[in-house]
Chains A and B, each alone.
Chain A
């Protein structure tokens, strides 16, 4: 296949940035989307040009590092798929593909397609944990947990923190990310003692980072590579409102 790539190039956070076009030929349908970028970068290096910077690591859809906005969609066209798992058989000969970084005020661009997502770490620091020190635990089977709740907690915990939800949202809201962690811990008995404080603190941190409000349109769920449900946002809202009425 022959493809045209229009890629966002931005030298650093201060640079204004612009699109640049690249023609790539001999694209195999077995290639992953990031392997296409490897091939293009190899060529740019050989031509003495600056390769395109992008975040990536595990290349099996679990680390959450890769973060390309492809033809107007976070992680491209495939359902529940990260950029690294997207393969070129999704495209046809002659296609033009536009690739941008996540665009959100809370995710400043570092270079080209790589953005700074440390705001997510700070949201977790605000309360995305259970306050238990090492060595304090009781026997694991001393706390039976309803399988339905355990499965729902797992489904929420499957979030990979990639930020696609923010990129897909017209308000750049981080509600899906934040609610996934709040839900996971709220559904488990171990997480109950701190649940009110957790909801209040994590939401406050999310606002402080400059993420927008929830649009209730569900773009986040539609684009989430792990299929995290917006039911979690409903649960966050319930947790947050209950906390507001009842916390001491």
Chain B
């Protein structure tokens, strides 16, 4: 039976009581304990820095050429925190409530409350590190609103919040490197977990420059390797983002939680052709001021600016008057798909909707005119002033759009379409963030814990840093306190030898195939199956087909992939091959999970389960559980259920009307 180990007692005191009673490790013993951290994004960098500050010996690994390039860097919009600086009624409880509701009642109350509770301290910590958040003229921090909430609790640094937060965590990490508390391994990829007597005791890593395998010991191993959106080939994730570390952990006994819960972000730049290698997100913050619409007429080929106001369908405002353009991501994405599928899409591909700033530009222009007492400002002057305001708020996003599409978004509405963005699923963890393998932890997007079936905007940064700065430093002591007598295990221990042999075996096999098709060929084929059959809308028939197709593709991959070059050299194709091999296995599990969950919730929309007006219909009687999958061998998994109970928030049909 899966035990989440949520502390007893009232919701508000669970975490404080836990912290005051959890086992501690004294400073002299911390020096003897080694922790391996895989990944240096917000979760990994903050965890590595925080644990090193406490005195643990840390080894941190990233596949990029520098820890600063982890994909957290690309997060744009912001980070939530229950500071209530705007005096608009925010509180820890409201952030908790919004997150549980936004996640469509598929997250644990205890975890989410803790997340909301530590959120405020994250902002304090980042400001202390010198993170330059946006400020008002009075010198205090500025906030904006995001989807799924009715308060302004999002802190931001233009459209580069992830960059600034990551550079803060990166600098804290580099400080610990300079102090000798962290040993940093850039351009290294973890390829196996080493277990001794059932506990995680180290890893096998490949030095990506020399291609040589290395053994590393740790008293505990933290997987902070991010999400697996690249299983779809096209996603907003970085090209290197992968599931390999998490998947190896899964195959060594860590259960995988809710793998089918993926987030499709509503505002991305649409696909332009077959050469497309990735998709680019336009921050959700754009929905604060932009209005989303399609023509009221089918197959309307007029230019957007030629379509008069009364012939436009602002479908989000029409369907969801209370939240309008700020409905949560899953709702906005499905609504866009619905319009495009019905034939109202725009652009050459007809798979796009408009995100329009014309009204916001005029509105801001009028405010500026009134500030400057320009009662007789001309329309042109108003528009110019409005554009300047919009440029200050969203300038970098507008520039990015212009570079990619060659169109000017200040003059003509942007074309957007949903794209895979984030994965709520991940390694199953308990309240301590420990997986089902003792001593093996998962933090940030790599775990499944806090966002349920749908993550709210600006909550990923919050969770990554919460896990790394404020949760793991406490919870890891609960385990390591009992490990103070464990001496470092020599690297010639049979467990290390065996693990390295297995990794070497897989690399030899991959290099030896010398088939006809490149790795990308298989990755694209997998992505197409996943997007068509396990994407924004899913049904039993499609999922069953997808499982069969993926199994066949996997077989073909292992017979026919071609990897050039040698094993013991810098070989990006070999790196990709290993990752795609894992994506193929994961894709199958995602489809199985989507198939068993015969309900719609959050980002998971089963066509069989919808209300009369096409909204997602949950089935709490049968599916109020976390699906935790145990690896049982190739194409074989066993489902374990962790029941979800709601003592405080009562699940209801989410309504944003």
**Once the chains are docked, how many angstroms separate the CA of A52 from the CA of B140?**
49
**Once the chains are docked, how many angstroms separate the CA of A107 from the CA of B180?**
24
**Once the chains are docked, how many angstroms separate the CA of A32 from the CA of B280?**
12
Q: Is the CB of A53 within 8 A of B129?
A: no
Q: Chain B residues near A55 (CB, 8 Å)? A: 65
Q: Is the CB of B177 within 8 A of A134?
A: no
10-46 of chain A: CB within 8 A of chain B: 12, 28-32, 34-35, 38-39, 42, 44-46
The chain B residue sitting closest to A121, CB to CB, is B66
Q: Which of A139-147, A168-176, A228-236 contacts B (4 or more CB under 8 A)?
A: A139-147
Q: Which of B325-333, B568-576, B578-586 contacts A (4 or more CB under 8 A)?
A: B568-576
The chain B residue sitting closest to A78, CB to CB, is B403
Q: Chain A residues near B521 (CB, 8 Å)? A: 42
Q: Which of A42, A59, A118 has the most CB of B within 10 A?
A: A59
A101 at interface by CB-CB < 8 Å: no
134-151 of chain B: CB within 8 A of chain A: 134-141
Q: Is the CB of A134 within 8 A of B53?
A: yes
Cross-chain contact of B132 among A60, A87, A184 (Cβ < 8 A): A184
Q: Chain B residues near A61 (CB, 8 Å)? A: 400, 403
Q: Is the CB of A137 within 8 A of B125?
A: yes
64-114 of chain B: CB within 8 A of chain A: 64-69, 71, 73-74, 83, 85
Q: Which of B132, B158, B177, B572 has the most CB of A within 10 A?
A: B132
A70 at interface by CB-CB < 8 Å: no
Q: Which of B69, B170, B273, B276 has the most CB of A within 10 A?
A: B69
Q: A-B pairs with CB below 8 Å: how many?
A: 221
Instruction: Assess A117 versus B66: contact at CB under 8 Å? Given A51-B564, A89-B406.
Output: yes
Q: Is the CB of B74 within 8 A of A34?
A: no
**Once the chains are docked, how many angstroms separate the CA of A65 from the CA of B187?**
12
Cross-chain contact of A132 among B128, B170, B275 (Cβ < 8 A): B128
125-177 of chain A: CB within 8 A of chain B: 125-126, 128-141, 143-147, 150-151, 153-154, 157-158, 160-161
Cross-chain contact of A87 among B53, B178, B404 (Cβ < 8 A): B404
Q: Is the CB of B404 within 8 A of A62?
A: no
**Once the chains are docked, how many angstroms separate the CA of A139 from the CA of B49?**
21
Q: Interface size for chain A: under 10, 10 to 19, 20 to 34, or 35 or more residues?
A: 35 or more
Q: Is the CB of A141 within 8 A of B71?
A: no
Q: Chain B residues near A141 (CB, 8 Å)? A: 83, 85, 140-141
Q: Chain A residues near B278 (CB, 8 Å)? A: 59-60
Q: Is the CB of B518 within 8 A of A42?
A: yes
Instruction: Assess A28 versus B141: contact at CB under 8 Å? Given A57-B69, A111-B570, A121-B184.
Output: no
Q: Chain B residues near A56 (CB, 8 Å)? A: 239
Instruction: Assess A64 versus B68: contact at CB under 8 Å? Given A110-B209, A157-B164.
Output: yes
B625 at interface by CB-CB < 8 Å: no
B186 at interface by CB-CB < 8 Å: yes
Q: Which of A50, A135, A188 has the most CB of B within 10 A?
A: A135
**Could you tell me which A residues sit within 8 Å of B by CB distance?**
12, 28-32, 34-35, 38-39, 42, 44-46, 48-51, 53, 55-65, 78, 80-81, 85-87, 89, 110-111, 114, 116-118, 120-121, 124-126, 128-141, 143-147, 150-151, 153-154, 157-158, 160-161, 184-185, 188, 190-191
**Could you tell me which B residues sit within 8 Å of A by CB distance?**
46, 49-50, 53, 64-69, 71, 73-74, 83, 85, 121, 123-141, 157-158, 160, 162-164, 167, 170-172, 174-175, 177-178, 184, 186, 209, 238-240, 272-273, 275-278, 280-281, 399-400, 403-404, 406, 469-470, 473, 518, 520-521, 562, 564-565, 569-570, 572-573
Query: Top 6 closest A-B pairs, CB basis?
Result: A144-B139, A129-B171, A137-B128, A137-B124, A154-B132, A125-B178
Q: Known pairs A121-B67, A132-B128. 12 more at Cβ < 8 A?
A: A31-B275, A59-B277, A60-B278, A118-B65, A118-B186, A129-B174, A140-B141, A145-B135, A145-B139, A157-B164, A184-B132, A190-B127
